[in-house]
Structure formats: structure tokens, C-alpha cells
Amino acid sequence: MSVKLKQAKETKKNKPLAVLLQQPDDASGYCRNQEEEAYVKRKLEENAEVVSINQYERMLYLIAPAHSKSGHLKKEHFRKIGYKLAQAARNEKLSSLYLYSSHKEDATDLMAVAEGLLLSLYQFNQYKSTQDSRAVLEILYLCSPKLDKVELEELEHVVAGTCYARDLVNEPAIALNAVLLGKSLKKAGKDAGFKVDVLGKDKIKALKMGGLLAVNAGSVDPPTFNVLEYKPANAINKKPYVLVGKGVTYDTGGLSLKPSGSMTIMKSDMGGAAAVAGLFTAVAKSKLPLYLVGLIPATDNRPGGNAITPGDVISISDGTTVEVLNTDAEGRLILADALVYAKKYKPELVIDLATLTGAAVMSLGKEGAAVMGNVDEAQMLALKEAGNQTYERLVEFPLWDEYRDQLKSDIADLKNIGGRMAGAITAGMFLKQFTDYPWIHLDIAGTAYLESPDHYKGKNGTGAGVRLLYQFFKSLAK
Ligand code: BES
Ligand code: ZN
Ligand code: ZN
């Protein structure tokens, strides 16, 4: 993240200022004359939530939400106001901005505006020959009687983690194969303070990770299996929380080739891996007292010379045989090896994140992720609550035993596809076969990548999963 976030005791004269009004009448305290007051009043009546006034020596932004909401809906509303403010700051080419709230009880609204604002300023422009001439804000000062320094730093780390995840997703496959992903993770670990082990093809063979090797068979580039570890001395858990991220750096579908229209966005098929990476940077920088392990199986999925063919039977690292009837259902194959690997940690909980199925996109679109698992209701509820708080909402799909029938193979233990129905669930059922611990699966196929802009989430890689999981782990660390 290029924008610096700072705490300010008071606002500065002549510097661009945005004020969260406690009530619309408070506007008069910031206006220079009756004309300005009348203008603000009219704009607020028209439901403009951010009113801009050019006061010559400074730009002034007066903020008042048009609707009264409460709880997490209010928080999201303020994030979206942050997005409007970011647009205004961009148009005016502001290099700094003071964001002020006089609220006496808490700084929740202010923090939400700041979050939305910072997330909206993200840009991915390393491949542009000419840079966007509109300057991006360099520094944001937050000013409130109730500001908490720790929360401020956390916000900075979570936004940076989200932006790192976005960068990884936006990076084209030519610049981010499995080996380069491993390198990026190593560097991120060094900078933030967590360990990264990048296992290469020989080690992957020795571990008999037949799922990862099968998906990689049609590729020129070797696979990697990346093991992240964050283990602070003050960790409150002995057994780790394990995060697994699907790291398909490009999904052509393999020999079950995707139609070109569905292939264009498939550099985003490592959105789960990106979320794990972004989460680790945020958790490590904020020094949450939790022991976390991250597992990222990574490869591209291509139809090259040795590519597996529909009908091939492969073995996952625990010996389970799988008849691969569609090479485009590759995510579950590499995740199976990672879920088996997770067993050796005797984990407290495993959460996997994967851009796994088109069926999840069909069900929920971009508005939420599908969640499944074998944990008790309280734990699921805690994650859903984190989903509401971050507005990365989750909808639970059932993993009823009956769905497993769709995965019966004539010649192997399992086949890798179910029927036409309930595709997100049969994918979840496939993964379940490889777990013997508390486990939650998040299908983020609809939320990891956007083809048209959506407020502060922007366009292209969204960093989905980072804010959600940070919030979840923060609630556990309390
Ligand atoms: N990576 C895709 C899922 C996907 C679809 C992600 C759309 C993001 C947007 C996955 O590997 C895939 O191709 N799944 C198939 C499975 C099917 C062959 C059983 C699908 O969902 O069509
Ligand atoms: Zn696929
Ligand atoms: Zn895929």
C-alpha cells in the first residue's frame, strides 16, 4: 500500500479536510458564509453523502450518510462513503487529506470510512507505459478523540495484505508461475515475519502428491508446494490453525479445455493462495498471538504433451485413487494433497479457500462466498459473523452424505466430478474425503475477481478472504 496512514491530534488549517458530521446542522461550523451553508443544506437534502466545497485555501468534504443504518450494515455504508471520498480525492489530485470525526464514544464510523477510502485507492499499473496522471493520495491523517493506535496499525496491515492479494491475482500468468509465486511468498515472509518453505518438484514427488503432479503434468513449469508458518512465542494455541489456498496460477481447463470466454479471467485461479498470503502478512505484521500454518499447492493447469487425459486414474498422497473425468476440475485434486498434508499438524482447525466452482458463482454471484464444513454451529457462526462485519458475506451449503453418491467411480475410489446438480457441494464433498479434523471450506470463485467495478472492492482482483479471515482470527485471539 502506498498510502501512509497517520494519527493526527488536530486538523490543519489550509489542508484538505473531510469531516464526518454528527448531524447535518454541524456543517455550518465549517462553512465560510451563508451561501456555502445553503449549498451544503441543499446537497444533503438531495442525498449527496459527500459534499465538496472548494474553499480556495483548501478542499472541504462534508460527510453525512443519507440513510440511518446500524451494526454491520452501517459499517459497510461508511466504507462506501470512503469510496466516494477516494473518487473526490483522486479528481482533485490531493496528496494529503485529514479525516475528522468529533464522535465522543468511538471511532468505528471513521475507521470504516478510512478502510473504504484506502481500499479504493488501489491501483495495478506496472504494465502501463504511461502512468495515470491523477496523483494518488500519499498520506491520510485520521483525527478523532477515540482513535486507537493499535487499530490504526491493524487497518494499515489488513489493507496492505488485501492489496498484496490483489497484486498476486492481477499479475498475469506469464509473470507468476508456481515457482515465482513461491519466490513472492518468501519475500513477503521475510518482510512481514513468517517462515516460508518452498517445496520443489522432487520433494512433491517424494511426498507422492499425485493430485498436484497430475494437474502439473501438462505444464512446462514445475509445481511448488508452499508451507507458511507463523508461530509467535506468545501464541495462545498449541495446535495450529491451518489455512489452505488453491494456487492454480492459470486454469486453461487442461485437455477438458475451457471455452475462450471463460478462460480470460483464469489467472485469478490462485485467489485462494493470494488470500492466504495476504492474511499471513497482515497477521504477522500485527503480531496476533496465534500459531498459523499456510499450505499452498501451486501449478498451472495446461493441456501440454503429458497432460492427464479424461479417464486417467491418479493417486492422492494418502493413497486414495481418483478417476479424473474432467481435467478442469483440477482445484480439488491439488487441494486434496494439501488437506492430507495438513493432517500431520493435528490442527485445531483447517480453513481452505479456493476459486473452486462455477456453480458457486451461479448460486451467489459476486455478493458472497459459499461456506461448507464439518465444524460445530458455534464455530461456523463465528466465521459468518466475521463475514458480516467485513461484508465478505458467507452462505452455508450443506454437506449431506447423499451428495457423496455423485462421486462414485466405476473403477477408482472416487471420480473428480459429480453430476449437473449442486456442483459447489459435490466439490466440497470431494474435499471432505481428505479431512479428519475440524474443517471449513470457502468457495470464493464469485468474489475473488470482478469484471466490473464494485465500490471499494474495485475491479479485477479483490483480495477476497483477507479481511474476512483477519477479522475471524482477531476474534479468536481476544
Ligand atoms: N477455476 C474453476 C472455477 C471457476 C469458475 C473459478 C469461474 C472462477 C470463476 C474450476 O477449476 C473449474 O473449472 N471448475 C469446474 C468444475 C467442473 C468441471 C466439475 C466448473 O465449475 O465448471
Ligand atoms: Zn478448472
Ligand atoms: Zn480452477
**CA of residue 367 to ligand 3 center, whole Å:** 20
pLDDT at 130: 85
pLDDT at 136: 82
Mean pLDDT throughout 224-240?
98
- Over residues 71-87, the pLDDT tens digits come to 999 999 999 999 999 99
**CA of residue 328 to ligand 1 center, whole Å:** 7
Phi-psi region of 254 (alpha: psi -120 to 50; beta: other; left: phi over 0): left
| Residue 250 clears pLDDT 90, i.e. is over it | yes
Task: Name the pTM for this structure.
Answer: 0.98
C-alpha cell at 191: 518482510
pLDDT at 333: 99
| Residue 10 clears pLDDT 70, i.e. is over it | yes
Give yes or no: 32 in active site.
Answer: no
CB 85 within 8 A of CB 63: yes
Least trusted range by pLDDT, from 129-143, 228-242, 411-425, 458-472: 129-143
Instruction: Give the whole-angstrom CA distance, residue 332 versus residue 316.
Output: 11
Phi, psi torsion values for 277, nearest 5 degrees? -60, -45
CB 457 within 8 A of CB 450: yes
pLDDT band at 103 (very low <50, low <70, confident <90, very high): confident
Mean pLDDT throughout 332-358?
99
Q: What's the one-letter identity of residue 104?
A: K
Does 300 sit in the ligand 1 pocket, CB within 6 Å? no
Residue pointed to by grid coordinates 488470500: 275
Task: Looking at the CA of residue 331, tell me the nearest atom of ligand 1.
Answer: 11
Q: What is each CA distance from 64 to 41, 112, 199, 399, 425, in whole angstroms? A: 11, 14, 52, 44, 43
| Residue 306 clears pLDDT 60, i.e. is over it | yes
Q: Which of 332, 366, 393, 467 is catalytic?
A: 332
Does 443 sit in the ligand 1 pocket, CB within 6 Å? no
**CA of residue 114 to ligand 3 center, whole Å:** 34
The total number of residues written for the chain in this structure: 478
**CA of residue 335 to ligand 2 center, whole Å:** 13
CATH topology of domain 4-147: Leucine Aminopeptidase, subunit E; domain 1 (3.40.220)
Task: Return the CATH number of 156-477, one of 3.50.50.100, 3.40.630.10, 3.40.50.12780, 1.10.510.10.
Answer: 3.40.630.10
Domain range summary for the chain, segments of one domain joined by +: 4-147, 156-477
pLDDT at 356: 99
pLDDT at 443: 99
Residue percentage of the chain with pLDDT more than 90: 95
- Over residues 17-70, the pLDDT tens digits come to 999 999 989 999 999 999 999 999 999 999 999 999 999 999 999 999 988 899
Does 310 sit in the ligand 1 pocket, CB within 6 Å? no
Q: Which of 258, 287, 404, 459 is catalytic?
A: 258
- Bridge partners for 227 per DSSP: 197, 295
C-alpha cell at 121: 485507492
